[in-house]
Amino acid sequence: MAKRNPAPQSVYRRQLASRLKELRDARELTLTEVAGIVEVNQSSLSRIENGERGTTPVLVKALLDCYEVTDPVEREDILDLVRADQAQRQQWWKKYSTVINTTQYAGYLALESSATSFRSYEPQLVPGLLQTADYARQVITAMRVDLTARQVDALVTVRMERQEKVMDRPDAPKLWAVIDEAAIRRIAGSPSVLKGQLEHLLAVAPSPNLTVQLLPFSAGFHPGLYGSFMLMGFPEPNPDVVWVENLTNSVGFEGSEDVERYAEVFDHLRARALGPPETRGQINKILKEL
C-alpha cells in the first residue's frame, strides 16, 4: 500500500529515524528492551524511529550509548541530524500559522525548505515558485473565496518569501517546470497582470537551476490530465516525495510505486512539451498578442 504523509517530516528527521533504527537492528534489540535501558516510553521511541516526532541530543546520546556507538565522528554526525531537525522546526512561516493551517500548507513548506530538486507540472497556473505578487494575489483571491483580504495578503507574502528562501539561496534546488499553455493564456482581471507574469518568466528563464517548458495545446490528450503535481527530491538516502493538492486536502506520497508513476508521467509531459528556447519564443508571441 502506498505510504501517505499529510504532514511529512523534515529531511533531517527522516535521516535520523533511519539511522537509529539501523543501529538498534544491528544490536538485535527490541523497542521494549531499549525503552527499559534508557528509561523512555516505548511508544515515544517508536515514533522517533518512524520519524513522527523529533527528539533531543540528550536522548540520542543515551541511545548511542545503548547501541555501543563509540566512534566520535559517527556520534557527532548523528547528533548533527538532531540539531538540524531542531533548527528546521523554527519555521519562518510560523507567524502565518493561522492562515497556513487553514490551507493545509505547512506540510508542503516543511518539505520544500529542504528539497534539492523539484519537478512540477501545472495545467492551469504558473507554479507558485515562479509567480509574481500581483499574479499570486489574483490567483489566491479567486481560488480562496473563504479568505479575507488580510488573509490573502498573508498568503501572498508567504509565497514571495518562499521564492526568496528557496530559489534565491546559494544552494538553490533545481526546478523543472512543465506548464500547460492554458496557464499562460488565462487572463484574470487585468491583462497587465498576465503580461507582468509572462515577462517575469522570461526574466528568470536564464537561471542555471531553472528549466521551463510549455506544453502546447497541440500536444492533445496526455497523462497529465489528472491534474497538477510536484515531485520533490532530497539528499540520499531520503526518498522522493510526490505532493498533490485538491480543494479540501493536500497529501504527500513517498511510496516507491507512487513516485515512479508520477516520474514516468512527468517524463512523458516534458517529452511532449516545447523545449526551453521554443517555450520562450511562444511566451514572447503571447506577449505581443496581449
CA-to-CA distance for 268 and 85, rounded, in angstroms? 36
Nearest in space to 110 (alpha carbons), one of 21, 203, 12:
12
pLDDT of residue 95 exceeding 80: no
pLDDT at 191: 87
Cell of 79: 547528533
**Residues with Cβ within 8 Å of residue 68, at least 6 apart in sequence:** 27
Give the percent of the chain with pLDDT over 90.
Answer: 58
For the domain made up of 98-289, the CATH class stated in words is alpha beta
**What confidence tens digit (pLDDT) does each residue in 113-159 have?**
888 999 999 999 999 999 999 999 999 999 989 889 999 999 999 99
Residue 84 — pLDDT band, cuts 50, 70, 90?
confident
**What confidence tens digit (pLDDT) does each residue in 221-278 have?**
999 999 999 999 988 777 898 998 877 777 778 778 889 999 999 999 999 999 999 9
| Terminal C-alpha separation, the chain | 48
Q: Which residue has the higher pLDDT, 255 or 33?
A: 33
| Entry pTM | 0.75
Q: Would you list the domain boundaries of the chain?
A: 4-88, 98-289
- Find the mean pLDDT for residues 108-112: 81
pLDDT of residue 51 exceeding 90: no
Question: Across all residues in the chain, what is the average pLDDT?
Answer: 87
Is the CB of residue 31 less than 8 Å from the CB of residue 42?
Answer: yes
**Cβ neighbour number for residue 287 with a 10 Å cutoff:** 15
Q: Which of 16-20, 150-154, 175-179, 230-234 has the highest mean pLDDT?
A: 175-179
- Structurally, at CATH architecture level, domain 4-88 sits in Orthogonal Bundle (1.10)
**What DSSP assignment string belongs to the chain?**
---EESSPPPHHHHHHHHHHHHHHHHTT--HHHHHHHHT--HHHHHHHHTTSS---HHHHHHHHHHTT---HHHHHHHHHHHHHHHHHTS-GGGGGHHHHHHTT-HHHHHHHTT-SEEEEEESSS--GGG--HHHHHHHHHHH-TTS-HHHHHHHHHHHHHHIIIIISSTTPPEEEEEEEHHHHH---S-HHHHHHHHHHHHHHTT-TTEEEEEE-GGG-S-GGGG--EEEEE-STTSPPEEEEE-SS-EEEE--HHHHHHHHHHHHHHHHHSPPHHHHHHHHHHHHHH-
Q: What are phi and psi of 56, to 5 degrees?
A: -125, 160
Mean pLDDT lowest for which of 9-18, 39-48, 201-210?
Answer: 9-18
